[in-house]
Each structure stands twice: as C-alpha cells, then as structure tokens.
Amino acid sequence: MTRVLVTGASGFVGKPLCRDLVRAGFRVSAATRNPRRVDDLHGVEVRPVAGLGAGTDWSGALRGVDMVVHLAARVHVMKDESDDPLAAFRRVNAQGTAKLAVDAAAGVRRLVMLSTIKVNGEKTEERGFTGADAVAPEDPYAKSKFEAERALFGVAGASDLQAVVIRPPLVYGPEVRGDFLSLLGLCRKAPPLPLASIRNGRSLIYVENLVSAILACLKTPAAAGGIYVVRDGEDLSTPELIRRLSAAMGRPDRLWPCPPALLRAAGAMTGRAATVARLLDSLRVDDRQIRQELDWAPPHTVDQGVAATAEWYVERFRADPEES
C-alpha cells in the first residue's frame, strides 16, 4: 500500500486532503510541528518535524514514504511585519522546499507541491493563465514560491524524483481564513457596497475540488513533470461572488453602481490601491491541461462550494460571533 507524507497536514487544505487520502486507501503520515493539531485526523500517522527550512532533517519523516504532498509554507499576509519579507519567505518556501526535495530524492517516487497562481502574475486580460505561460511573480510570497518550484524541478532533473506543481487561484471552503473570511463577514452584515459596475472575472477553487486535483496528481502517471493550474470551472465577477455568498447565507446584497475608475482613484488616495485592484481586476486560469492530461474534472460546482462555505460560516457565527 502506498504511503503518502503530507506536510502542512493541519492546515486548511491539509486536513481534508488527509481524510480523502485515507478514504482512497493510502497509508497517510502527517509531518507537523504540533502533533496535537492533527489529533482529529483518524487513521493518520503523526511524524514530528522541527519546521521547514534549509536545515530541516526529513530522514525520519520520509522513512518508508512513496509520495509526498508538500503544502507547508510561509503564507501570504496583507501586513507582513518582517524586516525583510522576501528573505523570510525564501527561508521557508524556497530553501525549505529545496531541502525537502533533496532528502526526498533518496527514495520517494513523486513529490506534489502546492504553489500559487500568483507565480504567473496578479491579473489577466483576455485569456486565463496556463502552467506553460511565462512567469511574473510580483510580491515576496509569489517570488519565493517560484523559487521553490525551480528548486524542486532542479532536484527532480538530477534524480529519479518525479515533481508535480499545482498553482491554484483563491481557495475557499469551510475553515477558510484571510480575505475570503472577511468577505463572508461583509456579506453577513450586508452594507451598501459600490461594486455593482465591476465586470471582471476571477477563477476560484473550492477546497474539496483542490483536494481532488491533488489526488489526481498522485495517482496518474502522466502527471510527472507537470505544472497545472486548477479552477472550479466557472469564473465569477466580484459582485456575482457577493450575490451568491449573500444568497447562500439568506442575506440581501446591497450593491450599487460606481465607476471602476472612481474606485481606483479612491483606493490610491486611501493607500488601498492593491485591495481595490483585487476587487476590480480579472485573474482567470485556463485549466484544460489538467482536464485533458489527467482526465480530471472538479467534482463540486461553484454553487455547491459556496453553499458549504456559507453554511460553515453561519454555524461558526452562531457559535462565536466575536470569532467571526
């Protein structure tokens, strides 16, 4: 029976991935700094590691492992308090991944790494990004993830290790954090929002769809060496996403029209240009490669993912309004 080691197993993607790997018949090990955070993962063996960096010793965690799914990372944050954010991201994401890849090459067959669509860039025009497009990472997080990809493929090119990279767009679902959690709170409060005139398109992926894509990258021989982008299958504008989230929570959406140029000007004057750009710009992906090469399709629709996320948020708010 194939043994899979999951790094970042206690995280937003890691927990549902571990559960689905167990259901699919894999032997699953979780590499984690805090074993108590994976106590609820039944059937998963815990393998403690000190952290993720250039000095991490992976020999114990990798013992008897056939495949690795590498989710652990220093994640993108809006207000990074590090004195040198790029150096901090590089230590964990680039150097840490490189060390994992080197240690894994001694006996692991395949390593699937979760990257980010931000490696390709921050926005698209007419067509969506593909895994074959030129890269244009802008912020420290995206740069470090691209460096991690290069390090992984460098090790794979000099060994028998098979490398696979997945670059997802925004991932959402129960237990989501960050900007999407803030958006859920906004939809619950239902204030008037000047967003009705936005005509962009953004690709998203429901966490269970992403887990399905990861499983396809583990199971399918043709995935070796691939760089795949993934999405739910339906791109949404900012106002359409708000409408669907609001409807799923039984809340009204109070959207009113305002020229996008005026919104950009307001963002520039208030120091929130990047936030406004994410509301206005398009960021689409073209996922035909993974669908054709791996015969993969997302098992859940956008509406199913939105409904599950909204249901989780409503229950969370009822249980602890302050936390939401």
- Return the active site residues: 141
Kindly give the interhelix angle for 238-248 and 178-189, rounded to the nearest 10 degrees: 60
CA dihedral over 28, 100, 54, 143, signed as positive or negative: negative
Residue 224: is it exposed, middle or buried by C-beta count within 10 angstroms (0-12/13-18/19+)?
middle
In whole angstroms, give the CA distance from residue 219 to residue 243.
Answer: 37
Asked if 293 contacts 223 with a C-beta cutoff of 8 angstroms, the reply is: yes
Q: In Å, what is the CA distance from 249 to each residue of 185, 243, 246, 309, 316?
A: 11, 10, 5, 10, 12
Count CB-CB contacts under 10 A for residue 252.
11
